[in-house]
A and B are shown apart, each in its own frame.
Chain A
Amino acid sequence: MSDDFSLDLFPEGTPEGGGEPEPVEVASEPPEPRVWSVSQVNRAVRGLLEQTVEPLWVGGEVGGWTRSRAGHRYFTLKDDRAQLRCVMFAREAERLPTDPDEGSQIRVFGELTLYEARGDYQLVVRKLEAEGADGLWRIAFEKLRAKLEAEGLLEPSRKRPIPAYPACVGVVTSLEGAALRDIVSVIARRAPWTRVVVRGTKVQGEGAALEIAKALGVLARSGLADVIIVGRGGGSVEDLWAFNEEPVARAIAACPVPVVSAVGHEVDVTISDLVADLRAPTPSAAAEAVVPDGETVRTGLRRVPERLARALRGASQRRRASVEARLVSLVRRIERRFGPPRQTLDRAMARLERAARSTAQGRRGRLGALAARLETLSPLGTLQRGYSVARTDDGKVLKTLADLPAGVRFELRVIDGTVRAESLGPMEEEPTR
């Protein structure tokens, strides 16, 4: 815009000399001083500023930060004695990870110019950095982290387990990047039965964050993947920035299947790492975390039939044992049921016997018939069939091996009386458990 005459604004002696550009007419008489229009002055000064001052870095404190509707940022840079008006146009400002905080120390790079309409001179800012390494990036990171944290999106309880044997692994990354090649080669080596479905996306530069977020959504909605790896290989903070942006964080949080974040980088951590269900340091590590090692699985499987067989043998032994246990308890139940009646019967028998002794011979027949009938009901009938009952002196029935250790003395009731007996201990071949 500035043209040639701007440089002629203050050449020696020009104002009086009535030179090249046409001065504005003011009066007539004496040689009037040359009078410039405001526009001429401003244009001339602007030209002077732009052409004589090289682009430069300026450091100071940010004040009056405002954003116009068109996305331009206006602010002043101050130190304790002076201030400098600055403007950062939308094109450059869009690349800022975040706006700097009011009052914070920053440095800017740009050219000095003059805004002719107002006569303000200002710095047109091309780059803006906060003090300290990665200052503004760090601030943007912390702001987003705090926001997501407040929403509970970073809660450990939100982390879902990664499936142990995914049939299909989804990948969101650049189709051309090393990350994809690394992931594919790890899965091919460890778990070649797995299906890998990739949704390609730009991973850096303008619009990358939105594209990554969209790719994640598309892959998630396809319903193909059991788990999704999202990431890229290493790069500068700026290269990796998309993974620190809100759209990616939101897409990960909204993903219906677990997400593994794999952004290869030396710098500590990205927002996507924090939101993801699992963070892997590199794409290869993500692949390792997501698929099992085939050899390990096969080894485990090979042992299964043997384990199954052993368990089956165990079950059959337990069954035998349980049949025995059931028999024992059945016998006990029968004995409990028949115990009291047997005593009753015994008493009845005794009374009958007494009665029999004291009554006439003639009644013997009838009594005998009665006794016979009773005997069919009583255990004595069993004794009749050749079984005997082992008891202690005081009448306790001896039923189990435990009741009859070697050396124990007991009585053996047989059909027609009782004998004294002594245990020689259990038979050898009987399993003694």
Chain B
Amino acid sequence: MTDKDETSLEARLRRLDEILAKMESDDVALEEALKLFEEGVGHVRAAERVLSAAELRVEELLASGETRPLESGEE
């Protein structure tokens, strides 16, 4: 359930914050902590994959609602 890549970076990082807060608080059972740990590591990996994208995508939104790549370096 951890690895849908459509999950946004924002959602992953927010979930990571939640997981850390929960695990670092005092009231989490060991079984739950284990589950959270695995989930958290999954999010870290997925987020790192997202961050490793190297090329910025710039698109122009057309009147039709479609987008097309925009060459920005022109000029």
Known: A181-B72, A305-B41. A198 touches B48 (CB 8 A): no
Chain B residue at minimal CB-CB distance from A181: B72
- Checking B51, B59, B63 against A218 with a beta-carbon cut-off of 8 angstroms, the contacting residue is B63
B-contact bits for A188-199, CB 8 A (1 contact / 0 none): 100011111111
A314: B residues at CB distance < 8 A:
23-24
- Taking a contact as CB atoms under 8 Å apart, the answer to whether A195 and B41 are in contact is no
A188: B residues at CB distance < 8 A:
56
B28: A residues at CB distance < 8 A:
315
Interface members, chain A 139-185 (any B CB < 8 Å): 163-167, 170, 175-176, 180-181, 184
- Taking a contact as CB atoms under 8 Å apart, the answer to whether B9 and A308 are in contact is no
- Taking a contact as CB atoms under 8 Å apart, the answer to whether B30 and A199 are in contact is no
- Taking a contact as CB atoms under 8 Å apart, the answer to whether A304 and B29 are in contact is no
- Checking B8, B55, B60 against A198 with a beta-carbon cut-off of 8 angstroms, the contacting residue is B60
The number of residue pairs between A and B whose CB atoms lie closer than 8 Å in the complex comes to 110
A200: B residues at CB distance < 8 A:
60
B57: A residues at CB distance < 8 A:
194-196
Q: Which 6 A-B pairs have the closest CB atoms?
A: A311-B23, A315-B33, A193-B53, A188-B56, A165-B10, A319-B30
- Taking a contact as CB atoms under 8 Å apart, the answer to whether B20 and A193 are in contact is no
- Taking a contact as CB atoms under 8 Å apart, the answer to whether A307 and B24 are in contact is yes
B24: A residues at CB distance < 8 A:
307, 311, 314
- Checking A176, A198, A307 against B20 with a beta-carbon cut-off of 8 angstroms, the contacting residue is A307
A294 at interface (Cβ–Cβ under 8 A)? Answer: yes
A364: B residues at CB distance < 8 A:
none
What is the bound-complex CA distance between A167 and B36, given in angstroms? 25
The size bracket of the interface on B is: 35 or more
Known: A304-B44, A311-B33. A224 touches B8 (CB 8 A): no
What is the bound-complex CA distance between A176 and B72, given in angstroms? 9
The size bracket of the interface on A is: 35 or more
A318 at interface (Cβ–Cβ under 8 A)? Answer: yes
- Taking a contact as CB atoms under 8 Å apart, the answer to whether A312 and B34 are in contact is yes
A297: B residues at CB distance < 8 A:
13, 47, 51
Seen from chain B, the residues whose Cβ lies within 8 Å of a Cβ on chain A are 8-10, 13, 16, 19-20, 23-24, 26, 28-30, 33-34, 36-37, 40-41, 44, 47-48, 50-61, 63, 65, 67, 70, 72, 75
A376 at interface (Cβ–Cβ under 8 A)? Answer: no
A330: B residues at CB distance < 8 A:
none
What is the bound-complex CA distance between A49 and B37, given in angstroms? 89
The distance from the CB of A33 to the nearest CB of chain B, in whole angstroms, is: 72
The distance from the CB of A371 to the nearest CB of chain B, in whole angstroms, is: 47
A309 at interface (Cβ–Cβ under 8 A)? Answer: yes
What is the bound-complex CA distance between A195 and B52, given in angstroms? 14
The distance from the CB of A64 to the nearest CB of chain B, in whole angstroms, is: 46
Chain B residue at minimal CB-CB distance from A309: B37
The distance from the CB of B50 to the nearest CB of chain A, in whole angstroms, is: 5
The distance from the CB of B29 to the nearest CB of chain A, in whole angstroms, is: 7
- Taking a contact as CB atoms under 8 Å apart, the answer to whether A315 and B30 are in contact is yes
The distance from the CB of B51 to the nearest CB of chain A, in whole angstroms, is: 6
The distance from the CB of B35 to the nearest CB of chain A, in whole angstroms, is: 10
B-contact bits for A249-261, CB 8 A (1 contact / 0 none): 0000000000000
- Taking a contact as CB atoms under 8 Å apart, the answer to whether B9 and A167 are in contact is yes
What is the bound-complex CA distance between A140 and B39, given in angstroms? 56
Interface members, chain A 314-351 (any B CB < 8 Å): 314-316, 318-319
- Taking a contact as CB atoms under 8 Å apart, the answer to whether B33 and A199 are in contact is no
B41: A residues at CB distance < 8 A:
305, 308
A298 at interface (Cβ–Cβ under 8 A)? Answer: yes
A222 at interface (Cβ–Cβ under 8 A)? Answer: yes
